[in-house]
Amino acid sequence: MAATWKGSLSFGLVSIPIQMSPAARTERISFNQIHKICHSRLKQPLFCPTCNRNVERNEIEKGYEYEKDQYLLFNEDELDKIEPESARVMEILEFVKVDEIDPLYFDASYYATPEPAGAKGYRLLLDAMNKSGYAGIAKVTMHNREYIVIIRPRKSGLTVHTMFYANEIRQPADAGADKFEIKEQERSLASQLIETLAGTFQPEKYHDTYQEGLRTLIEAKAKDQDVIATVPAVQAAPVDLMAALKQSLTQKPHAEKKTLLRVVPKGDQAADAPKKSRRKAG
């Protein structure tokens, strides 16, 4: 995988040449926009309303709108002048305990791997961080922005997580949870329910059932077939919280819920499809 960023990771006077590559990527089925009339794929050309024509990529420059329809223009050389040191050097500014960091601040994740010249220094830093339990806080500039990052040790290497700045974190809406008095028996039952559902985190157990459904739909469509979905009823908030807690404890833990899909020949879905309640117009 191509490197997203190349430079040096430094702590104190120790400099380690590294490169970063994305640690994860979203897997999803994407659709193209198709013209309903002729079924051609639609394109989105860059169009100049003044010249009344489409423009090429090499005709584009960056502009900042300081007033309505008034722009200050910048070229790449001008933007390169203001690049901070973090564009080339990711200096660890301090070390913190990972459990002190609110996961709300985490953004994207990257693997940091050493260049051959920095392999020994990289191993030294990795071992020291694993032993101490600390993560590093640093800054790095990429994608036209300076990020604050957390450098976290894993058994096999260092990961770098870009973080949101404090001013980017939105305040939560008032949930109104403090307006209710919780009985001790309700707390006890809720704790028991948590214990019955407790387990170790195994991300491979979970699957994107919507994407799986899309694949089933695409395959059925290609074979001129239809798909029937058996969707479970949506649960409403319980009127009697205590009764709902007690009933929950009598149920066996179950695996991840899935929407059941069945492929049928075209035209057969009407007989088998679940009936939906309809309100009469009043």
Domain boundary among 116, 133, 167: 167
CA distance 251 to 242: 15
* Domain contains 58: no
Q: Are residues 90 and 218 in the same domain?
A: no
Which pTM value belongs to this model? 0.74
Q: What is the pLDDT of residue 277?
A: 41
CA distance 23 to 111: 5
Our count of domains for the chain comes to 2
Q: Are residues 15 and 94 in the same domain?
A: yes
Q: Are residues 161 and 224 in the same domain?
A: no
Give me the CATH number covering residue 158. 2.40.290.10
Q: What is the pLDDT of residue 93?
A: 95
Packing angle of the helix pair 241-250, 184-197 (nearest 10 deg): 30
Q: Are residues 20 and 95 in the same domain?
A: yes
Q: What is the pLDDT of residue 281?
A: 39
* Domain contains 103: yes
Q: What is the pLDDT of residue 1?
A: 66
Domain boundary among 110, 139, 167: 167
Q: Are residues 163 and 213 in the same domain?
A: no
Q: Are residues 15 and 116 in the same domain?
A: yes
* Domain contains 250: no
Q: Are residues 124 and 19 in the same domain?
A: yes
Q: What is the mean pLDDT of each run of 10 residues along the chain (282 residues)?
A: 88 92 86 88 86 90 91 88 89 93 94 94 95 95 92 94 94 77 88 87 83 86 84 74 85 65 73 44 38
Domain boundary among 167, 190, 218: 167
Q: Are residues 85 and 219 in the same domain?
A: no
Q: Are residues 162 and 266 in the same domain?
A: no
Question: Would you say 171 and 228 are in contact if contact means Cβ atoms under 8 Å apart?
Answer: no
CA distance 80 to 140: 15
* Domain contains 130: yes
Q: Are residues 100 and 224 in the same domain?
A: no
Q: What is the pLDDT of residue 173?
A: 81
Range of the domain at 262: 209-232+258-271
